[in-house]
């Protein structure tokens, strides 16, 4: 083989080896087309992964809120009126009776400004990303009453607590409803 101007020449057959400018341009166009198609695919896979992660996080947060509320309602002996200034539609006040100890009020409240659910009035953080939170009650006579319309005389007749809430994380939204009998634990 001998060195030739544009590439290598096979002395035996007289053929030139190497790429012409047109061949290089065609190869670059093919590579650019494949890469642009792959970029779109990679972008869509990344977006799908983000949506899936958002959904998983929203489901996990909703499960934590539902479990916390259900456990507190089951462990309670009574439902009481929320403290003055608290929105009864977004606040749940339960009385727990500890064996050998004093009764304790357990308050679960939603802060819509921060999208956070607190336990014991901002004492214990339960979850964030909570975009809606509504409390209603089933009374002993079977009536379903929203938290804001419960009369003072009805608090002692609450038998079931129903809390509906929604969690939003990124592009995912998950709604849950927890319906638990008072003192069923």
Residue 130 lies in a domain: yes
In the chain, the number of structural domains is 1
pLDDT digits (tens, 9 = 90+) for 23-59: 889 999 999 988 888 888 888 888 889 999 999 999 9
Residue 24 lies in a domain: no
Residue 60 lies in a domain: yes
Residue 83 lies in a domain: yes
Contact 8, 16 (CB under 8 A): yes
Task: Give the distance from CA 148 to its chain's centroid.
Answer: 27
Residue 139 lies in a domain: yes
pLDDT digits (tens, 9 = 90+) for 77-100: 999 999 888 899 999 999 988 777
Domain that holds residue 83: 35-181
Residue 62 lies in a domain: yes
Among 162, 149, 173, 182, CA closest to 66: 162
Q: What is the pLDDT of residue 165?
A: 97
4 pLDDT tier (thresholds 50, 70, 90): very low
pLDDT digits (tens, 9 = 90+) for 162-179: 999 999 999 999 999 999
Angle at alpha carbon of residue 98, lines to 76 and 120, rounded to 5°: 60
Tell me what the mean pLDDT of segment 139-168 comes to.
Answer: 94
Among 45, 55, 44, 47, CA closest to 170: 55
Rounded CA separation 138/73 (Å): 13
Residue 175 lies in a domain: yes
Tell me what the mean pLDDT of segment 112-128 comes to.
Answer: 86
Residue 40 lies in a domain: yes
Tell me what the mean pLDDT of segment 113-130 comes to.
Answer: 87
């Amino acid at each position: 083989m001998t060195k030739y101007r544009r590439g290598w020449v096979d002395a035996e057959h007289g053929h030139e080896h190497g790429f012409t400018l047109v061949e290089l341009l065609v190869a670059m166009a093919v590579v650019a087309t494949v890469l642009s198609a792959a970029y779109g695919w990679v972008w869509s896979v990344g977006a799908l992964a983000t949506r899936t992660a958002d959904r998983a996080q929203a489901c996990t947060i909703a499960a934590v809120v539902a479990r916390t509320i259900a456990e507190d309602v089951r462990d309670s002996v009574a439902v009481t009126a929320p403290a003055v200034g608290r929105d009864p539609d977004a606040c749940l006040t339960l009385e727990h009776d500890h064996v050998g100890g004093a009764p304790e009020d357990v308050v679960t409240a939603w802060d819509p400004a921060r999208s956070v659910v607190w336990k014991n009035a901002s004492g214990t953080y339960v979850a964030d990303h909570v975009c809606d939170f509504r409390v209603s009650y089933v009374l002993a006579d079977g009536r379903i009453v929203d938290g804001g319309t419960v009369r003072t005389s009805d608090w002692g007749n609450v038998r079931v607590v129903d809390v509906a809430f929604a969690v939003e994380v990124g592009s995912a939204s998950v709604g849950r409803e927890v319906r638990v009998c008072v003192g069923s634990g």
